[in-house]
Every structure is written in C-alpha cells, then in structure tokens.
Amino acid sequence: MPEAMLEVSNICKTFGGVRASRNVSLSVPDGKITSLIGPNGAGKTTLFAQITGFLKPDSGSIRFLGEDITGASPEEIAERGMIRTFQVVKPFAGQTVRDNIAVGAHLRIRSRRGALAKAEEVAREVGLGNRLDQDASSLTVAGRKRLEVARALATEPKLILFDEVLAGLNPSEIRDVIPVIRAVKDRGITILLIEHVMQAVMSLSEYTWVLNQGGLIAEGVPKDVVSDPHVIEAYLGKGMAERIAAREKADV
C-alpha cells in the first residue's frame, strides 16, 4: 500500500444534535483514486468540507502530506496542494471559459499571460479547447463539469476531492468524462471521489470507503465493498448489487 497522502483521524461534527461525522477515520494513498460512497445525507460532503477547511471539525485531526491541517483555511489548504470541486458548478458570470480556468491558475501563477496560457493547456486536456472563448455560463451541464475539473487542475494540485463530478450527466456523457478523470490520475494527481454513479466507482477506484449516517460502515476494494451485506442494506439495495456483480462478471 502506497504511503497515505491524506489521513483523517476520528473526525466528529455535530449540527444541532445531528451527528454529521461520527469518529470518521480514513486514509487516501498517494497516486491512487479512492472513492467515498453512501446514501444521500450520509455526511460525505460534510466530511469533504472539513477536510478542505470549509468547516472545522468538533474533534479529530486531518493530516495532509504529513502535516496537521486541522482547522486551516481553504486558501491555506489549496496552497498546500489540496483542492476540491463542488456538486453544483457555478461559473463566474460574464466570463469566458478561458478566464474561468485562469482564476484557478492564479493560485500558482502571478502573471495574467501565464495564467491564460495555463488555462488553454488545461482546457485542451479536459476537452474544452474549442470552447475557450465561449461564455462559461452557456456551457451544458457536461461542459460545466469539465470546467470544474479544469479549474481544479489549473491550481496544479497534488490531491483533488471530486464531489459528484458525474452527477446530472446522461450515460453517454458519463462514459466521456470517466477517461478525463482517469487522465487526471495519470498525471500523478491523487483523487478522492464522492460518487453515486457506481459505474464510475467500479471503473476508477482502487479503494472504497462507505459512509452511512455519519459513520463508516465498510471499506475495501470496490468489488468486495459492493457485496458487503451492510452496504447492500444501507445503500445499494439487492437489485443494484446484483446488477453490479453481473456487470463485473461480464467484464472479466
């Protein structure tokens, strides 16, 4: 097992008596794609927010690249090399795709010319090279998802936390975007992925953690996790688990 890039230890978070995170401990190995799955309301996005500084844990610790970042600001964490995406992509209104991506590039690159050049490079990588001068707000849902990936890549991160980057896409669009995510990993960038699209989880992930009602209920390689009775009961349901198993068997 590669050395952990991210280590979350005994994280707890409560909102008005609701325990959104219950002693959550997980690790993300360097250079791998790790997924975090679970039903709606399980606490996945809340955990992402704590890891990336948008929320402060009530207790527990978060270490990134061996350093304690618990309670650090999102800006500090981004500068260290960890960036996150959001479920709902909100382009900067009235700006082109190029300018939207350049905002991310300015984290590392001071000059506007350099940031715009970085934006063009990243746009080509995610399939937006022919959309650079288009108003970002006019992009389709699939285009906006690619834009979110591009903005993250432009920061030159070591770790990206993707929050449902495939949500709202049709099956054809999902098939098109999965290789984009895989290409991010091939660049040497580590990925932690929240995703409900099990096709993507099974295809991309090398290790999976399962969250339910704020606490972890399972972990392991994806093919083992989806056959876990606790995961089937809490999240997948018997029918979905059987379909995944049949698809995996057909792919062998």
pLDDT tens digit sequence for 107-141 = 999 999 999 999 999 999 999 999 999 999 999 99
Instruction: State if pTM tops 0.85.
Output: yes
Q: What is the pLDDT of residue 243?
A: 72
The rounded distance, in Å, linking the Cα atoms of 65 and 70 is: 13
At 97 the pLDDT is 98
Question: How confident is the model over 77-104, as pLDDT tens digits?
Answer: 999 999 999 988 999 889 999 999 999 9
Per-residue model confidence (pLDDT) at position 98: 98
Of the candidates 154, 196, 180, the one whose C-alpha atom is nearest the C-alpha of residue 35 is 196
pLDDT at 250: 64
**What pLDDT score does 199 carry?**
86
47-60 burial by CB neighbour count: b if 16+ within 10 A, else e? bbbbbbbebebeeb
pLDDT at residue 233, as a whole number: 86
Phi and psi at 12, nearest 5°, equal -130, 140
pLDDT, tens digit, 9 for 90 and up, residues 6-51: 999 999 999 998 999 999 999 999 999 999 999 999 999 999 999 9
Q: Is the pLDDT of residue 252 over 60?
A: no
Express each pLDDT in 191-243 by its tens digit. 999 998 888 999 999 999 999 999 999 999 999 998 888 888 888 776 666 67
Phi and psi based region of residue 66 (left: phi greater than 0; alpha: psi -120 to 50; beta: remaining): left
- Domains defined for the chain, CATH in brackets: 1-81+157-222 (3.40.50.300), 94-151 (no CATH)
